[in-house]
Amino acid sequence: MQKWEQKSSELVFEAGFMKLRKNKCVNPRNSHVGDYYVFHFPDWVTIVPFTQQGNVVMIRQYRHGSQEYELELPGGAIEKGEDVVEAGIRELQEESGGTCSDYELLGKVRPNPSMQDNWCYTVLAKDVQLGSVRNMDLGEDIEVLEMTPRELKQAIKSGELNNAMMISSLYLADAL
């Protein structure tokens, strides 16, 4: 398939770490020129932390989009210039107080390629120890819990765990 030609790109809106661009593009199939809006977010990292007992460290935190406390894996935005695995290690410690020395980058997925240009990376952490001091952001309100793979499957089936990126990361880590 032929690549679409981008004629122009204009910054429409910027707030915090989010930018919205309007790209004028040409469809190679029929030469139609249209405006297409793309959200730019930083790349994200999700870490799948296994305890020595084989449980997965999960968090529950308030999310403004759903206006609910959501069941998730530790994770967040990768800071500019930060190594992906180091970002995962940082997020694990900040959000759960978890530490370990055995990490592995498993892969990456696009959260929503129809309108976003970022990636979400998955990092595996083995033999995680909880108990370190957490270093949450001022806007975070997080509960830490451990779940068995069976409990995670049930949480997905019931809708309690409904974030597609988290579920994708759990599959990449063979946690289900």
**What tens digit of pLDDT does each residue of 127-154 get?**
999 988 999 989 999 999 999 999 999 9
User: pLDDT band at 160, cuts 50/70/90?
Assistant: very high
User: pLDDT band at 61, cuts 50/70/90?
Assistant: very high
What is the per-residue pLDDT across 63-102, written as a single tens digit (0 to 9) for each? Answer: 999 999 999 999 999 999 999 999 999 999 999 999 998 9
Domains of the chain plus CATH, in order, are 5-40 (no CATH), 44-172 (3.90.79.10)
From the list 170, 149, 161, the residue with the least C-alpha distance to 72 is 161
Residue 135, burial from CB neighbour count under 10 angstroms (0-12, 13-18, 19+): exposed
Query: For residue 132, what pLDDT is reported?
Result: 85
pTM given for the model? 0.94
Half-sphere exposure in the Cβ direction for 82 (13 Å, CA): 18
Question: Residue 145 pairs with which residues in a beta bridge?
Answer: 58
pLDDT at 5 over 90: yes
| N-terminal to C-terminal alpha carbon distance within the chain | 36
Task: Measure the CA–CA gap between 16 and 62, rounded to whole angstroms.
Answer: 18
- For the chain, how long is the longest CA-to-CA vector? 59
Q: Which residue has the tokens 């049930």?
A: 154
Query: For residue 173, what pLDDT is reported?
Result: 97
